[in-house]
Structure 1
Amino acid sequence: MRARTVVMTVEERRRPLLSRNVVTGGLGFCAGAAIAYVFDPVRGRTRRALGRDKAAHATHELKDGLGVLSRDLANRSRGTAAAARYRVAGRSADDRILHERVRAELGRHVCHPHAVEVHVQNRVVTLTGDVLAAEDERTRRAVRRIPGVRRVETRWAVHRDAAGVPQLQGTARPREPVPELLQERWSPTARLVAGTAAAAMWALSGGLPRPVAWAARGAGAVLATRVATNLPLRRLTGINAGRRAIDITAAISIDAPPEAIWALVSDYSVFSRFMPDVHEVRRSADGRMSHWLISGPAGAPIRFDAAETKREEGKEIAWKSAEGQLIAHTGALRLAEQDDGRTRVQVQLAYNPVAGAAGHAVARLLGANPARKLRQDLLRLKSYVESERQPVGPRGA
C-alpha cells in the first residue's frame, strides 16, 4: 500500500512538469513562427511597416476613445447634477414654466399631444381634449410626477379607439424614453459600466458552485462581446436581425463621367467581367428581379434572388434580397459627379450572414472578408472603366 502511494506521488509530480514542457514548447513554436513571419527576407519589411501602421492607428483610436469617454463622463455628471437641481429647485416654478413642462411630458406618453389642451393655475394642471384609454392613466401619473405640480385634474374625453374622433386620426406614437442598455448603440459611459460588470462576473465566479460559475462566466462573456462590438445581440447572433447585421460602406473616385459608369453598374449581367466572385447574373423580363450565382466562403457557390427597390437613372440604384434567402442583405450604389470631372462611386451594404456578426468575424479570420472584397471590386471597376476609356493606338506605335 505504501509502495503504491509512492508511485502515485511520482506520477503526480510528472504531470505538472509535462504540462509545463508542453506549454513552453507551444510558446516557443509560436514565438519562432512570429519571428519568421516578421523577419522574412522577402516580405518582412512590408509586414513590419504594416504592423507599425496598425499600431499607430490603434494608438490614435485609443486616444480618441479615451477622449470621447472623458467628455461623456463629464457631460453625464453635469446632466445628473442638473437633474438633481431640477427635482429640488424645480418645485418653485411658476405656472408658465409648469405649462411648458407638461407640454413636453405629453409628447412622451400621448400619441396625439395636439389633441390635448393644458391649463395651469396655481400649480394645478387641468387637462382637456381627447385621449386614448391606453394613455389615460400613465399620462396622469407622468404629469403628477413633474416637480412643482400640486394636483392634476383630467377633464378630457377618453376613447377606446380613434374611430370617429378627428383629433386622434393619423399614425403616431409617443416618444417614450428608451433605457440606456436597451438602445442599439451604447454610450461610452454605458460601455464602461457594462465592461466593469463583465469583469466583475468573471472575478467573482471563482467562489461560486460550478454550474452557477459557468453561467456567470457565460453571461460575462456575452456582455463583454456586446461592449467590445457595441452591437445589439440580435445583430451579433443574426437572430431576428432581418437584413441588417453587418454594415459595409466603400467608395472610390473614377476618372470617367457618371453616364459611362452607369452603363456598367446598372446592368448586372456584365458584373462577371470585373468581379471574379460573380459567376452569373440573370435578369427577369421586366428587369426588376435578378438571379445571382457567386462564390461564398471557401469558394462555395451561393445562389440568391434580388429585387430592385429604387432606381434613379444615372444617380442611384438600390436592391434587397428576396424573402427566405440564406444570406439576407440590402444595398445601394450611388454616383456623384465631382468638380474635377471624376465620378465618386459609393456602395452601402447591410447583410445578415449565418450567425450574424459572429459569423462575419469567423469569415474574416478564414479570409472571406466582404469589406475587402467590396473594395477590391471597386478597384477592378475603376481599372475596367478607365482602361476602356484610354485610346488605343495603332500596332507598333
Structure 2
Amino acid sequence: MSTFRDETAGPSRLPSLLKAAGVGACAGAAAAYLLDPARGRARRARVRDKAAHATHEMRDGAAVLSRDLGNRGRGAGAELRYRIAGRSADDRVLSERVRAELGRHVSHPHAVRVSVHDHVVTLEGDLLAEEEEHARKAVRRIPGVKAVDARWIPHIDPSGVPTLQGRGRPREPVPELRQQRWSPTARFGAGLAAAYALTASRRLPGPLAWIVRAAGAAVAARALTNLPLRRLTGINAGRRAVDVAEAVEITAPPEAIWKLVSDYSVFAEVMPDVYEVRRSPDGGLSHWMIKGPAGVPIRFDATETKRDEGKEIAWKSTEGQLIAHTGSLRLVDRGRGRTRVQVRFTYNPVVGAAGHAIAKLLGADPGHKLRQDLARLKRHVERAQQRRETGRRGHPVAVGS
C-alpha cells in the first residue's frame, strides 16, 4: 500500500514557517530584554511609563479630534445656511462681505472702493491686472450679489500708482492638505484613506499594488507625524527636518558662562562626541571635528549668524556640508547668580525626520544626547565657579603694603 505525498506542501509552508520563526525570535529578544536580571526591572518600569504616556496621548488626541469634528460640523452647517439664506442680506452686510472676499484675492485691497446698491456691487479704484479676473469672479460668487459693475483700473505696471506701492500678497485660502500642519480631522481622514489603500492594494496586480502601498504608507506617515513629506524624507528640507530644543539652569552668573561658550572652548571638554573646535581669526567661522557613525570623524564648518554679547550666539552650517543644520545658544539671567541656558538646533539627517526616528529607536537620539551634554556643561561650570569662589575666600586681597 503506497502513501501519497504532496510534493508542494513543503515549499508552500515555508513563508508561514519563516513568519513563525521571526515572531519567535522577536518574542525571545523582548523577553531577554525585559527579564534581564541586572536591568530588567528598570526596563520594565520604563516600558510601563511609556505605555501610560501613550495612553494619555491617545486619550487627549481623541478629545481633540472630537472637538475638531464638532466644530467643523457646526462650521459646515453655518456655511450651508450662509449659502442658502445669505441672499437676503441688505446692502450694508453685502458690502462687508465683498470687502472681506477682496482681501483674499487682491494684494492691495485698500486701493479698491466698494459700494453696493440694490445688491449690485460697484468696484472702483486700482488693482493689478493679473488679479482682476479672479477677483471679479470671487465677488460674483458671493451669495446675494446680483451683478458686478467693475469700474476699477487694472495696471500691468504698478510703479506709477501710489495706492499699489508696497509689497502686498493676497490671503488666498490654502487647501487643508497643502498646509504645513494638518488639523486633527484631516489627519484622521487621511489615516483612514491610507488604511483603505493598503487594504485594497491586495486585490490589485503586482506593480500597481506596490505603487498604491507606497502612496498609502507615505500618507499614513504624514498623518501620523503631522510633518510635511520633505521634512520626513529630508528631500528639499534645507536645514530644517528635525527640531531639537533643551534647557538647563546653572548656578553661575551669565558672564561666567559666556566666557566659556562664546569662543566654543568648552564644547570639546563637555561633549564626548566633539573632538575639536577651532575658530577662524576673524571669529565668524568655526571648524568642527565630531564623532560620526561607527566612530568615523566628521569635519564641518559653521558660520555665525548672530552674536549678542553676553546673551546669545546663533550659527548655521556652511553650504555643501554633510548634515545641514542651524542652532542657537541663549543665556537668560534668572537672578541670584543663576542662569538658564537654552539650546535649540534644527538639522537634516539622512532621510530626514524618518532617519531621526530610526536613530532614536536604535538609541542615537540627539535630544537625549543634548540633555546629557547640558548636564555635563552644568557640572563643569558650577565646579569652575566653586573653585573661583573658594580661591577668592582662601586668598584675600591685601590692602596697602
Relative to the length of structure 2, the TM-score reads: 0.92
Output the CA distance in 2 between the equivalents of 1:301 and 1:215: 39
Pick aligned residue for 1:345 from 341, 344, 364: 341
Contact kept? 1:131, 1:157, Cα under 8 Å: yes
- 2: CA distance between counterparts of 1:300 and 1:238? 22
1:272 equivalent to 2:271? Answer no
Partner Cα distance (1:297, 1:12) in 2: 46
349-358 vs 177-186, which moves further: 349-358
| Equivalent in the alignment of 1:149 | 145
Deviation at 1:379, TM superposition (A): 0.8
Cα deviation code 1:174-205 (max 9, x no counterpart)? 11111000011111100110011011111212
Counterpart for residue 70 of structure 2: 74
- The offset of 1:328, in angstroms, is 1.0
Question: Are residues 240 and 255 of structure 1, via their aligned partners in 2, closer, same or farther at CA, if it must alter by over 3 Å?
Answer: same
Q: Which runs of 5+ in 1 are unaligned?
A: none
SS in 2 for 1:303: strand
Counterpart-to-counterpart distance in 2, 1:286 and 1:62: 52
Q: Against the structure 1 CA distance between its residues 97 and 339, is the aligned structure 2 distance closer, same or farther, given a 3 Å change threshold? A: farther
Q: 1:332 maps to what in 2?
A: 328
Q: Alignment partner for residue 100 of structure 1, among 90, 96, 108?
A: 96
Is 1:181 the counterpart of 2:151? The answer is no
* Residue number in structure 2 paired with 1:377: 373
Q: Hey, what's the Cα distance between the residues in 1 that align with 2:314 and 2:119? A: 54
Query: 2:127 and 2:330 mapped to 1: Cα distance?
Result: 45
1:361 aligns with 2:337: no
Taking the aligned partners of 2:135 and 2:87, their CA distance within structure 1 comes to 19
Aligned counterpart in structure 2 of residue 297 of structure 1, from 293, 304, 315: 293
The residue identity in structure 2 corresponding to 1:263 is K
1:239 is aligned to 2:231: no
Mapping 1:1-397, distance limit 5 Å = 9=6, 11-17=7-13, 19-339=15-335, 341-391=337-387
CA distance in 2, matches of 1:386, 1:270: 13
In structure 1, distance between residues paired with 2:294 and 2:100: 56
- Does structure 1 retain, via aligned residues, the 8 Å contact 2:280–2:286? yes
CA contact 2:328–2:344 (8 Å) conserved in 1: yes
Given that 2:289 and 2:298 are in contact with CA atoms closer than 8 Å, whether structure 1 keeps it comes out as: yes
Distance in 2, matches of 1:359 and 1:18, equals 32
Letter in 2 for 1:311: R
Residues in 1 aligned to 2:229 and 2:14: alpha-carbon distance in whole angstroms: 41
**CA deviation digits over 1:9-42, x for unaligned, max 9?**
2x32233555544444443333233222212221
Distance across 2 between alignment mates of 1:219 and 1:79? 31
Answer with 19-28 or 384-393: which moved more.
19-28
**Structure 1 150/341 Cα, relative in aligned 2: closer, same or farther at 3 Å?**
farther
Point out the more displaced range, 32-41 or 126-135: 32-41
| Root mean square deviation, CA, Å | 2.0
| Aligned 8 A contact 1:283 1:291 in 2 | yes
- Return the letter of the residue paired with 2:47: G
Number of equivalenced pairs: 390
Question: SS of the residue aligned with 2:158?
Answer: coil
Match for 1:190: what amino acid? A
Give distance in 2, aligned partners of 1:6 and 1:160: 87
**C-alpha contact 1:269 1:283 (8 A) present in aligned 2:** no
**Deviation per residue, 1:217-251 (Å, 9 max, x gap):** 11111111111111111111111111111111111
Range with greater deviation from structure 2 (88-97 or 337-346):
337-346
Q: 1 CA distance for matches of 2:278 and 2:301?
A: 10
Asked if the contact 1:297–1:368 (Cα under 8 Å) also holds between the matched residues in 2, the reply is: no
Encode CA deviations 1:96-140: one digit per residue, 9 max, x unaligned: 111111111111111111111111111111111111111000000
Whole-angstrom distance in 1 between the partners of 2:16 and 2:159: 77
Distance between the aligned counterparts of 1:263 and 1:83, measured in 2? Answer: 60
SS of residue in 2 equivalent to 1:51? helix
Q: CA deviation at 1:48?
A: 1.2
Q: Per the alignment, in what secondary structure is the counterpart of residue 350 of structure 2?
A: coil
User: How far has the Cα of 1:59 moved from its partner?
Assistant: 0.9
Distance 1:17 1:238, change over 3 A: closer
The answer to whether the 8 A contact 1:290-1:306 is kept is yes
Amino acid at match of 1:271: F
What's the % identity of the aligned pairs? 66
Retained in 2: the 8 A contact 1:327–1:351? Answer: yes
Residues 202 and 21 from structure 1, CA distance in 2 versus in 1: closer, same or farther, beyond 3 angstroms? closer
Hey, what does 2:397 align to over in structure 1? Answer: none
Shift in CA distance, 32/24, structure 1 to aligned 2, threshold 3 Å: same
State the distance in 1 between where 2:316 and 2:151 align.
50
